[in-house]
A and B are shown apart, each in its own frame.
Chain A
């Protein structure tokens, strides 16, 4: 097996591993904001590594892969920021473990519990 095939495969595997850890984090974390954290970070590096591994495996694809990596790195944080902002805006509460919330919404009162949120 040529060296670049092996390197590409290992890189893609590492990307898949980070994506798996991100999925595990989304499942285990207590509230929407912490889930967003693990979701954003691991999908960014996971996708980038997978694409980079693919680029190493097929060297003629490397240019396209670099452009895709750039787009993922630019757009991924924007989407997670939009989701977190919307979640906070409609008043989804932080987990009980939270120590501080200095972001005060003016328009609507915050919900007290998850049960109240489901009622709505």
Chain B
């Protein structure tokens, strides 16, 4: 019984991966013909089945999908905010910068979650991930307000972590 639900979950992951792949290809080539679309989907399913390692993929739940959508909206907000932050700093006669490299600590375990967190930090206002060592990120911060590791973690990481912890576990 447990075995069958497990493989059903893997099948779901495989099919959703194939849908995403097929969607990308269909949008890119403007395909609308049903025959064409079905061939695209079958090919995508074949590619997903051959190349994807479903054991490494996290299971899909409704909660994760909702958190992912919320995360994307949050990230868009942060990107816009960071651009106005850059604009504000650049146009002033004396640039208000107070830069430095500070360490922060992440609670995330999965490599892909950490990668997304590091990339998100680069896109947020005034921070740039310079290096990743185990569970520590070294962040170049354009305006260091807190040199302490704990304080910097609170300021930079915690906003993203509460979404990514749910999505990647």
Contact = CB atoms under 8 A, between A and B. Distances in A.
B98 interface: yes
Size bracket of the B interface:
35 or more
Contacts of B128: 33, 36-37, 40, 80-81, 84
Nearest to B125: A41
Interface in A68-117: 73-74, 76-78, 80-81, 84-85, 88, 94-95, 97-103
Interface string B82-100: 1101110111000101111
A2 B128 CA distance: 41
B98 A63 contact: no
A42 interface: yes
A24 interface: yes
A50 interface: no
Q: How big is the A interface, by class?
A: 35 or more
B123 A102 contact: no
Interface of B: 24, 27-28, 30, 79-80, 82-83, 85-87, 89-91, 95, 97-103, 118-120, 122-123, 125-131, 138, 140, 142, 144, 147
Q: Is the interface of A mostly helix, strand, loop or mixed?
A: helix
A33 B103 CA distance: 16
B134 to A, nearest CB: 13
A70 to B, nearest CB: 9
A12 interface: no
